[in-house]
A and B are shown apart, each in its own frame.
Chain A
Amino acid sequence: MASFTSAVSPARVTARGWGWRHGGRSRAAVAGLDLDLEPGEKVLLLGPSGAGKSTLLHALAGVLGSAEDDDADESGTLLIDGRFPRDARGRAGLVQQDPETQVVLGRVGDDVAFGAENLAVPPAEIWPRVRQALEDVGLGFLPLDHPTHALSGGQKQRLALAGVLAMRPGLVLLDEPTANLDPAGVLEVRDAVIRAVTASGATLLVVEHRVEVWKDSVDRVVVLGAGSDGPSGVVASGVPDAVLESQGEALAAQGVWIPGRVPVLVGARPGAEPASGVPTTLSSDAGVLLEARDLSVSRAAVSRRGLGARKAVPVLSGVDLDLRAGRALSVTGPNGVGKSTLALTLAGLLAPAAGAVVGSSALLSVGEAVPRHPEPYRWRAKELITRIGTVFQEPEHQFVTGSVLDELRFGPRQLGRGEERVDELLQRLRLESLAEANPYTLSGGEKRRLSVATVLAAHPRLLVLDEPTFGQDARTWAELGSLLLELLHDGVSVLSVTHDADFTRALGATELVLGGATGTVFSGSGSAAGAGDASVKGEA
């Protein structure tokens, strides 16, 4: 009969000279890996992008080398408890990055039961396992028929973890499980992982850019290396503090986030008050580029021409703010309060649900063709991109051509302009060697840099960025920050939706805090935001 404790026999992982090359690639994803994980050990796996961290996790989860990837090449051995991962079904469970694709079924209970069903666990034993797993990840309060689409990102990731725990795996694998979450979600998931894994005694292997989140909860840190000629196996391994002590410098240079090391931006004045990245000559008489008056925003009001626009319940209302040349504004607050919707509305991509967004004469008179209307959402695409540039959270949403170079040329060509800025941007964002590459094949950091560069190619006066630093390594973070400081200095106005307090500080941005327990709205201020009573008032 079934045992009703969640304890499992923890798994041992052994890699000897293990390597993997994906089909159709010339470069190995992992090479010469020697690694031992003791049963029950909790290990944080670090390394620059391209070191093969995700490949190792996929291999251990038994999902590498499926039918589509048949000309892949494996070398050496990788074993779980002395068996090949593919033959050790159910010994390892994997949680990945994107919460939307971690949910399989429509009801919470069914989703958690899914893995156990696939392992042919007797039905009578499945539901006690499901309840236990939900309890372990702190979702025990949810009814089993709660719809999974109604969960937050952090809850979806905890649900995925519960689905894995219900399989009673000896090895839990986490591939950047918190990269897409807000700060509250990050801690929520981290705590659930540690509590559940400690209870079951399973071995834990977690890949994450942000060392600070995990370093006090793991037994060991393992660093994988990557040189110019490919991955180079384990570079360092040991207790977290010792490894960070000896490898911190090198890791930080490779873009790993090391606790206590916020990258220094080029153009930031050392020792100066960080909240004044704004040139003093401009700050007093900086012109307003865009103003919002009594603005309500809603996703549903997408119809640009007013045809068929339905009455929508605004997610956020009563917003008054000014965006000024050479100033940065950061919009912060918990998920779901309408930060992105506000940014998209200000950027002229969504129609306001009520109230107005109006470009100033300074913004309208940019370039040759002056728009007939002052409201950005009524501008034609051509009129929009020279005035307001928007960088979306997911870079792939904005790719419209087949090569990096064509992406950069696209904006100027639409405008019938010269392409003199293209080479400069290629070089500035370290994309020269990738000019011919397909944008979809780039790494996460490269995609982010490209998506910013493509928008800048049209020379907008106002830049709107949605979570620009999400999931980025420290190196891309610093490059992005330095570039934005430079733009601010040139009189561009920068609006960012972000959870990243370091980023806000580094740009010297005014902070606009949205949301609160009651759903009302207030404003916090860095330097220049005026607090309103029931409405948001901000200036930047």
Chain B
Amino acid sequence: MTEERGVLDPYAAARADQPLLGRANPLSKFGALVIITVALVWSIDWLSAGIAVLCELLILPLAGLNLRLLWNRAWPLVAAAVLGGWSTAVLAPDKGPVIFSFGIWTMGEHSLLLGLGFLLRGLAIALPAVIVMACTEPTDLADALAQLARLPHRFVLGTLAALRLVGLMVEEWQTIGMARRARGVGASGNVLSGLAAKLGQSFGLLVQSIRRASRLAVTMEARGFGAGPRTWARPSRLSAVDAWVMLGAVVIAGLAVGISIAVGAWNLVY
């Protein structure tokens, strides 16, 4: 460990410019994620989830995000949460005064609150993950998992390298689709042959992915990967920032659960 002290982190300068969450170790960020998620899965009241969402929106600047950037990354999750909340509100048994009725859809006060609870809970659990991913470099995450969490480095680095190829697959899918159209695949144009064509395209993509992966494996093996002990050019360390990150998560979870229980809104699901 002594020699690690002599290592100048080449990314230190770039990291110093980052907002607080960008400087934190990925491991503490994932710890914070776990704390908030575990605190919020016990109840379906709208208050605790609402408080958590509010806090999460308030810490956006710490991750270098604003509402617009967040929306760009998280809109599918927001859409899913709204859909979940809507169907809960419509389908839950109606108790209390009916406030909305249209054909087969009726919505009472009780079911509306239940739906709102679902919507906010979905957001409260999804947002921290989006925020953490937005300010975490995958390589740093792998470093932390292998060095601090002691996961096997072959597994961690292999996964990391393979993830890079996933980005290439999108482009490859498009190319294979065009290449097959140029061969006349899907000529008859009915639904069944269209399905068969997509299946064939998937198979083509699978073949190409395996080829790519095995070439990448040769590259990694030729660079000495996989046998014997290795060193880490970027020592993954915990610092004071990480204590603050964990503390922040505890505070958010505590506020959400505490206020909800104090007001009597807390509503255990199990």
- The residues of A that contact B212 with a CB separation of less than 8 Å are 98, 100-101
Question: What distance in Å separates the Cβ of B47 from its nearest Cβ neighbour in chain A?
Answer: 39
User: In the complex the two chains form, is A164's CB within 8 Å of B223's CB?
Assistant: yes
* Interface 9-mer from A24-32, A114-122, A269-277, A285-293: A114-122
Q: Are A98 and B215 closer than 8 Å at their CB atoms?
A: yes
B200 touches A124 (CB 8 A): no
Which chain A residues (396-425) contact chain B, with CB distance < 8 Å?
396-400, 410-411, 414-415
At the interface, yes or no: A33 with Cβ under 8 Å from chain B? no
Of A87-95, A242-250, A318-326, A487-495, the one contacting chain B is A87-95
Q: Is A470 an interface residue (CB 8 A)?
A: no
B180 CB contacts on chain A under 8 angstroms: 397-398, 400
Q: Closest residue of chain A to B204, judged by CB?
A: A397
Q: Closest residue to B182 on the A side, CB-wise?
A: A390
Q: Does B179 contact A (CB under 8 A)?
A: yes
Q: Knowing A121-B231, A396-B207, say if A63 contacts B185 (CB, 8 Å).
A: no
Contact yes or no, A124 B3, CB < 8 A: yes
Q: If A124-B3, A149-B167, A454-B183 touch, does A89 touch B222 (CB 8 Å cutoff)?
A: no
Query: Is A15 interfacial (CB-CB < 8 Å)?
Result: no
Q: How many residues of B contact A (CB 8 A)?
A: 58
CB-CB under 8 A from B204, the residues of chain A are 396-397, 399-400
Q: Which residues of A contact B137 (CB under 8 A)?
A: 106-107
Contact of B175 among A115, A116, A397 (CB under 8 A): A397
Q: Do the beta carbons of A120 and B230 come within 8 Å of each other? A: yes
Against A, the Cβ 8 Å flags (1 = close, 0 = not) of B188-209 are 1100000000001000100110
- With both beta carbons as reference points, the residue of chain A lying nearest to B211 in the complex is identified as A396
- Closest Cβ of chain B to A113, distance in Å, is 4
Instruction: Choose one: A106, A110, A389; the contact of B234 (CB below 8 Å).
Output: A110
Complex interface: stretch among B7-15, B73-81, B93-101, B255-263: B7-15
How long is the Cα–Cα vector from A107 to B14 in the complex, in angstroms? 13
How many Å from the CB of B189 to the closest CB on chain A?
A: 6
Counting CB contacts under 8 A, is B228 at the interface? yes
State how many residues of chain A have any CB contact under 8 Å with chain B.
73
Q: B139 to A385, Cβ gap below 8 A? A: no
For A455, the chain B residues whose CB sits under 8 A away are: 182-183
Please measure, in the bound complex, the distance between the C-alpha atom of A61 and the C-alpha atom of B220, giving whole angstroms: 11
Take A126-B233, A144-B11, A454-B183 as given contacts and tell me if A96 and B228 are in contact as well, using a CB distance cutoff of 8 Å: no
Mark B1-34 against chain A: 1 for CB-CB distance below 8 A, else 0.
0011011101100100000000000000000000
Q: Does chain B have a CB within 8 A of A104?
A: yes
Does B243 sit within 8 A of A, measured CB to CB?
A: no
Is the beta-carbon distance between A127 and B8 smaller than 8 angstroms?
A: yes
Q: Please state if B183 and A104 are interface contacts (CB–CB under 8 Å).
A: no
Q: Given known contacts A105-B139, A120-B231, A410-B183, is B7 in contact with A127 (CB within 8 Å)?
A: yes
Would A381 and B219 count as touching, CB distance under 8 A? no
User: For residue A302, which residues in chain B have a CB less than 8 angstroms away from its CB?
Assistant: 174
How far in angstroms is the closest Cβ of chain A from B212? 6
Partner of A344, one of B14, B178, B222, B230: B178
Residue in contact with A411 in the complex, picked from B10, B183, B186, B234, CB distance below 8 Å: B183
Q: How far is the CA of A243 from the CA of B182 in the complex (A)?
A: 44
Q: Are A114 and B225 in contact (CB under 8 A)?
A: yes
- Residue contact B230 to A117, C-beta cutoff 8 Å: yes
Does B218 contact A118, Cβ atoms closer than 8 Å?
no
**B182:A120 contact, CB within 8 angstroms:** no
Name the residue in B185, B207, B224 with the highest tally of chain A Cβ atoms < 10 Å from its Cβ.
B224
B184 beta carbon closer than 8 Å to chain A: yes
> B160 contacts which chain A residues (CB < 8 A)?
105
A89 touching B228, Cβ below 8 Å: yes
Question: Is there contact, CB below 8 Å, between A123 and B7?
Answer: yes
| A66, A302, A392, A411: most-surrounded residue (chain B CB, <10 A) | A392
| B144-197 CB contacts (< 8 Å) to partner A | 160-161, 164-165, 167-168, 174-176, 178-189
**Which residue among B139, B211, B231, B234 has the maximum number of chain A CB atoms within 10 Å of its CB?**
B231
| Residue A154 lies at the interface, judged by CB distance under 8 Å to chain B | no
Contact B184 A415 (CB under 8 A): yes
On whether the beta carbons of B182 and A89 are closer than 8 Å, the reply is: no
Chain B residues within an 8 Å CB radius of A130: 10, 233
Given contacts A63-B222, A382-B188, A398-B183, 6 further A-B contacts (CB under 8 A): A105-B160, A106-B138, A120-B231, A123-B235, A130-B10, A145-B14
Top-7 shortest CB links A-B:
A115-B223, A118-B224, A397-B179, A101-B215, A390-B182, A382-B187, A124-B6
Q: List 24 A-B contacts (CB under 8 A).
A: A62-B221, A66-B221, A105-B161, A114-B225, A115-B225, A117-B231, A118-B223, A118-B224, A121-B231, A123-B235, A124-B4, A144-B11, A149-B164, A160-B219, A349-B178, A381-B186, A385-B183, A385-B184, A385-B187, A392-B178, A398-B182, A400-B185, A410-B184, A455-B183
Task: Give the interface of B toward A (CB within 8 A).
Answer: 3-4, 6-8, 10-11, 14, 137-139, 160-161, 164-165, 167-168, 174-176, 178-189, 200, 204, 207-208, 211-212, 215-216, 218-235
Q: Which residues from chain A sit less than 8 Å from chain B, CB to CB?
A: 58, 61-63, 66, 89-90, 92-94, 96, 98, 100-107, 109-110, 113-124, 126-127, 130, 143-145, 149, 160, 163-164, 167, 299, 302, 344, 347, 349-350, 380-382, 384-385, 389-390, 392, 394, 396-400, 410-411, 414-415, 440, 454-455, 458
